[in-house]
């Protein structure tokens, strides 16, 4: 999608309240490039938290010796 199309779509969706420029889209892209890897890392950490249910379902307990 070209740059003019993006501006038209944003203006249409916001009913004319927002009128972004090309610099606005460049800054949004830069922010997303900086934040998305951080968000992915947080999701990986949350996904590895121990589960309060079955201890075998957690990565922390998989390598523990079985009694």
Among all chains, which residue has been given the structure tokens 């999701």? 43
pLDDT of residue 35: 93
- Decide: 18 and 11 in contact? Cβ < 8 Å: yes
Q: What angle is formed at CA 18 by the lines to CA 12 and CA 20, rounded to 5 degrees?
A: 100
| Average pLDDT per 10 consecutive residues for the chain, totaling 67 residues | 75 84 87 92 81 55 55
DSSP letters, 1-66, are --HHHHHHHHHHHTTTS----HHHHHHHHHHHHHHHHHHHHHHHHHHTSPPSS-GGGSHHHHTSPP
Is the pTM value of this prediction over 0.75?
A: no
């Amino acid at each position: 999608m070209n740059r003019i199309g993006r501006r038209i779509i944003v203006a249409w969706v916001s009913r004319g309240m927002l009128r972004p420029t090309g610099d606005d889209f460049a800054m949004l892209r830069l922010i997303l490039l900086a934040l998305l890897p951080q968000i992915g890392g947080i999701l990986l950490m949350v996904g590895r938290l121990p589960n309060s249910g079955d201890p075998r379902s957690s990565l922390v307990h998989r390598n523990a010796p079985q009694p």
